Amino acid sequence: MKRVIVANARYWLEYLNAVSGDDLIPEADIRGAARALETVMAVPETWSLTLSLAQALHPHMEQRGYWADWDYFLQGLLTHAQRRVDSVTEADLLAKRGIIQRQRGAYRAAMTSFRRAWWLCRQAGDQTGRARAFSNLGDLCRLQGYFRRAEILCQGALELFEALGDTGRLAATENHLALVYFDRGRWPEALPHLTRSQALWQQVGDRHGLAKTLQNLGVLHHRTGELEAALDYLKQAIRHYQAVGDKIHVARTQLNVGNVYLDRRDFLRAEMIYSQAETVLRHEGDSLDLARVHHNLGMVYTHLENWDEAEACFERALERWRNLEDTWNAANTLGELAGLYLARGCWAEARACLNEAWELVSERDETRYGPLRQELAERQQELQRMTSPQ
């Protein structure tokens, strides 16, 4: 029986090694390779074969959005590595698991994984691993609003990857650093990093990495008011994501396309695109982006004066933000829900939403909370005008 297990694992390893990371492998084959990995993991003397199969399978599991399943595998592999006191393998698996946790919105867990990976790489003198940890930690700090720390970490990673000549990870870090500037509204500083990231991805022929940068270029041009350029970049990104079978990132990019149509006040088209994305995200169990799509649909239905549907969408978004402990987005959705109640003349409900939102943001001093506080203040002033005696 052991011989059959090993032969099956070797078959799938040879199969995966024979294809490019960008090749669209049938779902049945990915599931077959995953079953082979699960089986061979139980055979202690096949550790090297198990790791090789996991390494070959990882990009396909990540790109196809099988994050919950893959997190389960990585957790099991980590347990084996720790029992064997294999710190090099442990660091690599922690980095991979951190990426999956980040994709699933589990930022605290991802931070723990990346920090442990950095410590192990530092102990082993692994410069590539340290640089990768810096880059990933920088991206996580950005997502949590620690922009100065994120900038320092990403710049440190860039220096290391430049010295190592690692073009692919250099491209990823340029993208991470661009997003640090993007999230602070520093568009002119973000653009050259995205442009360089795009060129580097093209140089190494990585369609999935290229798609991520094209998506971010689309969002940047949307923010600067260049809507046609934004749509062009976003549609390019969707084509690349489709080519590698990444359904979740197709849906995430559709959210950005819907946002462009929302700004154009093409509400029916925005609703159609958001609804298409929602179907995929619900099937894949992507809580973070389901919250975003419900928030956006709430805005669409508010503009269409479909009040009940708008309220239901905002409430669904709020429930997910609270479960994710995402303070900024919870306050943002409460602000939009307050706007809905103001439009309907529901003063008490609007006041309750604004009070709850202020409790969330009043003591936060991160840069990104400034514009949100301003929006909430404007809505409070509007409520005061509407309820003051004439």
Task: List pLDDT tens digits, range 254-311.
Answer: 999 999 999 999 999 999 999 999 998 887 766 778 999 999 999 999 999 999 999 9
- Tokens matching residue 38: 């699960």
| Three-class DSSP category at 232 | helix
- Tokens matching residue 135: 């880059």
- Tokens matching residue 217: 């270029």
Rg of the chain in Å (alpha carbons): 23
Model pLDDT, residue 271: 96
Single-letter residue type at 257? V
Cα separation, 134 vs 131, in Å, equals: 5
Q: How many CB atoms lie within 10 A of CB 221?
A: 21
Cα separation, 339 vs 321, in Å, equals: 18
Model pLDDT, residue 23: 66
- Tokens matching residue 277: 């994305």
By the 10 Å C-beta count (0-12 exposed, 13-18 middle, 19+ buried), 240 is classed as buried
- Tokens matching residue 317: 């978004």
- List own/partner pairs for 157-160 with CB under 8 A and 24 or more apart: 157/131, 157/132, 160/127, 160/128, 160/130, 160/131, 160/134
Max alpha carbon distance in the chain (Å)? 86
Of residues 251 and 43, more confidence is placed in: 251
CB 324 within 8 A of CB 291: yes
Domain 126-243 matching CATH 3.40.50.10190: the answer reads no
Closest by Cα among 72, 69, 62, 70 to 22: 62
Single-letter residue type at 278? E
Residue 386 has pLDDT above 90, yes or no: no
Summarize pLDDT for 1-53 with one digit per residue, the tens.
788 888 888 999 899 988 865 667 888 888 999 899 989 888 888 889 999 99
The reported pTM is 0.81
CB 216 within 8 A of CB 198: no
Asked whether the CA dihedral 277, 99, 157, 48 is positive or negative, the reply is: negative
Model pLDDT, residue 390: 60
